[in-house]
Structure 1
Amino acid sequence: MIKSILSFLLIATLSVSAMAQASFDLEETKPVALNGIEYGFAIRNESKKDVGSKGSFGRFEVTVYATNKSGCTKLLLPKQTLFGQQDQDLLAQFDCINATGMRLTSKSGNVRAPEFFVPYSTTTKNAEGKTVTNTIQVKAGHILHNGETVSSNFIVIVPESELPRMKVRIREFLDQ
């Protein structure tokens, strides 16, 4: 019994460490780079919002992005973990530290890698005895080409005299 509990704890620890995340504070004009991928954000639009008795707030439309500047294509292959295969495409999560979340706005946004497919061919015999080759596209994982940028937009509301303070949690991909 104790052996099985220790085994479970070991597997859980290894699964969590395999999906480790590094965290960095961001400035709008200074993206962070890790493993050849640059992570940053830009403010697209800014306005002032009056919220009744709560006062005035700043409303910002924010674009978060990840750009592959590594010189090579990054492949993210599916990997079964203790917690399943969810978020296999997640590159980074951006959090606005001073966002209020009021009025149906966000406090965070994610950047995800696009899917990639590979052809898979099978050969079968049809009813007439002829050999027929069928090719289908099978999802093989996620990909970020060299020079490619993926982005996401969201809206935050922050106290009136402040700009959004952003933090990025980057998923570190260990060799598979």
Structure 2
Amino acid sequence: MMKYVLTTLLIFGVSLLALAQASFDVDENKPVVLNGIEYGFAIRNESKKDVGGKGSFGRYEVTVYATNKSGCTKLLLPKQTLFGQQDQDLLAQFDCVNATGMRLTSKSGNVRAPEFYVPYSTSTKNAEGKTVTNTIQVKAGNILHSGETVSTNFIVIVPENEMPRMKVRVREFLEQ
């Protein structure tokens, strides 16, 4: 019995390691380019906030983005994973490593690829025996066109006299 439990735990641990993503440091206005996609962030607004009894902190409005500079369209096709099909559109997750998360602010933000649809036609016979063709749009996956930028905004609070320190975890694109 103990042998089966240990084997199960070992398999689960190896599975989690296989799902782990590498993270990369990103400096403001100095993006990281991986597989032809540029990942970066910019600070849109900066202010100071006094948090009751905890002192003064820096409040930053941050935009994180991914730009396809590969010269070709990137397709993200749905695939079944150990945990289902959630986050199939996730391109990158940006983590602010020195964010406090106080006052309903974030510590991270996600950049997601837009959906794309393809037409699907079916033919059926109606009551009179005539063939009727119906076409519907079916979600085929997610897409990032060459030159396209997707972004998201969030607010972080960091200790006073510090700038946000960002790391990005990116989705791996398999070459086909």
Deviation track 1:91-127 (CA, whole Å, cap 9, x = no partner) reads 1100001100000000000001111100000011111
Work out whether residues 78 and 141 of structure 1, in 8 Å CA contact, stay in contact via their aligned partners in 2: yes
Give the partner amino acid of 1:169. Answer: R
Q: Does 1:172 align with 2:172?
A: yes
Per-residue CA deviation, residues 107-159 of structure 1 (Å, 9 max, x unaligned), is 00000111110000001111111111000000000000000000010000001
Give the structure-2-normalised TM-score.
0.90
Q: How many correspondences in the alignment?
A: 174
Q: Is the 8 A contact 1:28 1:43 kept in 2?
A: yes
In the alignment, structure 1 residue 62 sits paired with structure 2 residue 52: no
Seen in structure 2, the aligned counterparts of structure 1 residues 51 and 20 have a Cα distance that, compared at 3 Å, is: closer
Measure how far apart 1:175 and its partner are.
4.5
Alignment of 1:32-51 (within 5 A): 32-51=32-51
Correspondence for 2:128: 128
Relative to 1, partners in 2 of residues 1:9 and 1:53: Cα closer, same or farther, differing over 3 Å? closer
1:67–1:8 distance in 2 versus 1, CA, 3 Å: same
2-structure distance, mates of 1:117, 1:8: 40
Q: Contact 1:92–1:112 (CA<8 Å) still a contact in 2? A: yes
Q: 2:149: which partner in 1? A: 149
TM-score (norm 1): 0.90
What is the alpha-carbon root mean square deviation over aligned residues? 2.3
- Describe how 1:17-28 pairs up with structure 2 within 5 A: 17=18, 19-28=19-28
**Which blocks of at least 5 consecutive residues in structure 1 are unaligned?**
none
- Counterpart of 2:155 in structure 1: which amino acid? I
**Which amino acid is 1:104 matched to?**
L
Answer yes or no: is the 8 Å Cα contact 2:72–2:146 preserved in 1. Answer: yes
Unmatched 5+ stretches in structure 2? none
Partner-residue secondary structure (3-state), 1:103 = coil
The aligned runs of 1:82-101 (5 Å cut-off) are: 82-101=82-101
